[in-house]
Amino acid sequence: PTPLPPPHIEKSDRKPEQMKRKASATDGEGKRGAKTGMASSFSSFADAEGRWKADAAVKLNNGVEMPIFGLGMSHNGGGDYVKGIQCSLANGVRHFDTAARYKTERILGETLKPYLENKKVKRSDLFITTKLWPGDAEDVKGAFQSSSEALDLGVDLYLLHWPGVGGKERRKEVWREMELLLENGKVRAIGVSNFIERHLVELEETASVVPAVNQIEANPFQYRK
């Protein structure tokens, strides 16, 4: 098949002063009052012949590189997760996205572990994303610990799965608890999922760290206008 061209990234028509963010002197290590912008510094997505590169990555606002291509471990209607992970690894994919809500953290960790033990894959080459479900947000630390134990291989990116945690002020409180995970070295980056612009603007009012990622679903059957 004809290789797809690299994605077209449209430039914003907003004035530079509207797009400014206060950059953290420590590149997002979580110190209170320091702010960084959203993801930046896109690497090349394709090689000289126009073929997509499995190791193409984007640099997040704290300098951490996140692979663009990954396997989503969502509800799959009975498909074979293990074969999906194995096939992804064989084709160079190193980013795996799961969530407590999906109940796939444990099977992801168990499938990846033999590759790590046999040194077929290095942990430093993997990028693991998982998410905090709003129903578990009463105990962010405990929810993260449960996800960590299920995965048993560390978490690179931790996302708040959905904004519905009990209103604006509660979202800020939950986000602060996620910032503490970052400050304490439990994760390499934190972000959100399914947020709209209003949620992000509200979060910035008190956030020490601007979300590195806002993960949203986009496909022909579900998209935002």
Give counts: helices (H), strands (E), the chain.
Answer: 6, 9
Largest CA distance in the chain: 52
CA 108 → CA 68, 72, 101, 117, 145, distances in Å?
A: 19, 11, 14, 15, 16
Burial class of residue 32 in the structure, from the number of CB atoms within 10 Å of its CB (0-12 exposed, 13-18 middle, 19+ buried): exposed
The reply to whether 81 belongs to the active site is: no
Burial class of residue 169 in the structure, from the number of CB atoms within 10 Å of its CB (0-12 exposed, 13-18 middle, 19+ buried): exposed
Alpha carbons 215 and 100: distance in angstroms, whole number: 16
Cβ contacts of residue 178 below 8 Å, gap of 6+? 132, 140, 158, 160, 190
Alpha carbons 25 and 124: distance in angstroms, whole number: 25
The catalytically annotated residue of 102, 115, 158, 223 is 102
Write out the catalytic residue numbers: 102
